[in-house]
Structure 1
């Protein structure tokens, strides 16, 4: 299938590892130019070298999304450097944690405001290009999770935010969707750590999935890039579950 991404311009936060890295690689493989950020200079340098093989225009910035001014500065520079934006993925997360109010603040600043602040700047660019945005959620946001934590709550909030944008910006030709990965295993992932630290828990999760395995980062990236592409032109305001049937609720 031709996704129609050749020559498009993408901005993604946190593209140096994990799901963000795989999404960035696939966007480049499909012919996008890419602006990205990460917190460490070493990570940005390594990813830039990795991405160079694509032959596309790529530039990385060192930026902590929790620093609102620095984050806005990165986005403005990225827009100027790319000459506009066709696809936006606020991928950075403060992850799960149980450190009290500090964790609530971290997930609010990074997971939620990272998307909100991003759309304030990138949204008009997407209107100009009739582009798309994609928010990274999680299946922990759509059903009960064994641990009560702000990560789940803030991710769930993104679903509502995306739905609202899909209506207001949708009238201007912009699509805004979410993806909710389930248990995804890749080097350095939390599930890799869980497998080593708590094998019994890991096996319980693995066997709860119909295929008896966890998903891969590449399987998530495939869906993400499709939703950002013109090939998904009639998908707007949706939260797409990517979990191999791990969640058991029925969707009507």
Structure 2
């Protein structure tokens, strides 16, 4: 299926590894021009080099999304380099784990405010061409988990923000959706570490998924690319759960 994304001007945060990396690749393969960021400058340079060598139009920058001033500055530079913005993906996260005020603040600034600031900075560009926005949330924000952590709370807040802001910017022709991956395994990710450090928890999680396996970053990215594309032109305010049936709640 042609996603009709050739020439799309896309911006994504956290694109050097895992789900964000695969979403970035899907957008590039669909014909989009891409500006991306991550905190690790070496990883950014490596991705940019690889993608441009494959003939893609991509430009990366080392940015801490939790630094509001630096983040807004990069968003402006990215939109200028692209000549606008038709698609914005907020993927980067402060990560899981418990902690005191500092950890709560980090997840708030990166997971939630990264989305808010990104949309506010790019809204005019997105409205100019009927753009689309995707926030990467998590099933950790939908159900109780054995680990109490700020990550879960901020991912839940992200879904509420997406739903409510979709009603506002929808009047300008901008679509806003969320995607909530379940347990997804990829090199260097949490589930790869859980498999080693918490094997009982890992196996119990696999057992509760009807398909008997964890998801892949590629599977999440395929769904994300569709939601961002014009083929999903009548979908907004949705939180798409991509978890192989792991969650059991009924959404009415």
Superposition TM-score, scaled by structure 2 size: 0.98
Shift of the alpha carbon at 1:40?
Answer: 2.0
Distance in 2 (CA, whole Å) between partners of 1:187 and 1:58 is 23
CA contact (8 A) 1:29 1:54 kept: no
Distance in 2 (CA, whole Å) between partners of 1:11 and 1:67 is 17
Structure 2 gaps, min length 5: none
Distance in 1 (CA, whole Å) between partners of 2:33 and 2:95 is 28
Shift of the alpha carbon at 1:200?
Answer: 1.2
1:26 equivalenced with 2:26 (yes/no):
yes
Give 2:224's aligned residue: 224
1:111 equivalenced with 2:111 (yes/no):
yes
2:134 aligned counterpart, secondary structure: strand
In the TM superposition, what are the counterparts of 1:82-121 in structure 2 within 5 Å?
Answer: 82-121=82-121
Structure 1 gaps, min length 5: none
Superposition TM-score, scaled by structure 1 size: 0.98
1:12 aligned counterpart, secondary structure: strand
Aligned length: 252
Distance in 1 (CA, whole Å) between partners of 2:13 and 2:119 is 12
Give 2:150's aligned residue: 150
1:180 equivalenced with 2:180 (yes/no):
yes
Distance in 1 (CA, whole Å) between partners of 2:77 and 2:54 is 22
Distance in 1 (CA, whole Å) between partners of 2:122 and 2:131 is 10
RMSD: 0.8
Distance in 2 (CA, whole Å) between partners of 1:115 and 1:15 is 15
CA contact (8 A) 1:28 1:54 kept: no
Moved over 4 A (4+): none
Shift of the alpha carbon at 1:116?
Answer: 0.8
In the TM superposition, what are the counterparts of 1:44-123 in structure 2 within 5 Å?
Answer: 44-123=44-123
Give 2:14's aligned residue: 14
CA contact (8 A) 2:18 2:189 kept: yes
Give 1:210's aligned residue: 210
Q: More displaced, 23-32 or 141-150?
A: 141-150
Q: More displaced, 97-106 or 218-227?
A: 97-106
